[in-house]
Structure 1
Amino acid sequence: MNDVPIVVHRASGTGGRRVTVRGQIMGLAHSDDDLVEFLRRAGLPDAWELLDDASWVEWQGGVSHDYVTR
């Protein structure tokens, strides 16, 4: 089991990446701004500082900060 609380899943075929926080689906992010808003709603007001911290965020199936399939 993975202990990273935030998972940004691989990009969907239509664009955007599903975001889960502790297993709860927060929504489909199309940008870092969307991702930060989901994390703010989850109670993480300093989310910008967490995006590149591997102990907080796991970016699956592609390059971090990229929200389209290639």
Structure 2
Amino acid sequence: MEGAPIVVHPPLGTGGRRVTARDQILGLAHSDAAVVEFLRRAGLEDAEQLLDDPAWVKWRGGRAHHYEAA
């Protein structure tokens, strides 16, 4: 695996973070619960346990689990 297949992008100026899986946009998350739901819809049933696993999820820009505008 080249890198984490799931990317939580930097917070937007209006708040929220774009979430992608292998360059496919899953949605705009405003909370960890939203990220988990996007991942479940993508077929990852144990999504809660993946959020802090760098092999699965890359948090770009800002702090992990932080969704407010920078």
Q: Which runs of 4+ in 1 moved over 4 A?
A: none
Is residue 2:19 matched to residue 1:19?
yes
Normalised TM-score (structure 2):
0.94
Number of aligned positions between the proteins: 69
Aligned ranges for residues 53-68 of structure 1 at < 5 Å? 53-68=53-68
Alignment partner, residue 30 of structure 1: 30
What amino acid is the match of 1:22? R
TM-score by length of 1: 0.94
Per-residue CA shift, 1:21-50, capped at 9, x if unaligned?
011000000000000000000000100000
Matched, 1:49 2:37: no
Cα distance between partner residues in 2 of 1:31 and 1:55? 21
Q: CA RMSD in A?
A: 0.8
Supply the distance in 2 between the matched residues of 1:68 and 1:8 (Cα, whole angstroms): 13
Aligned partner letter, 1:28: L
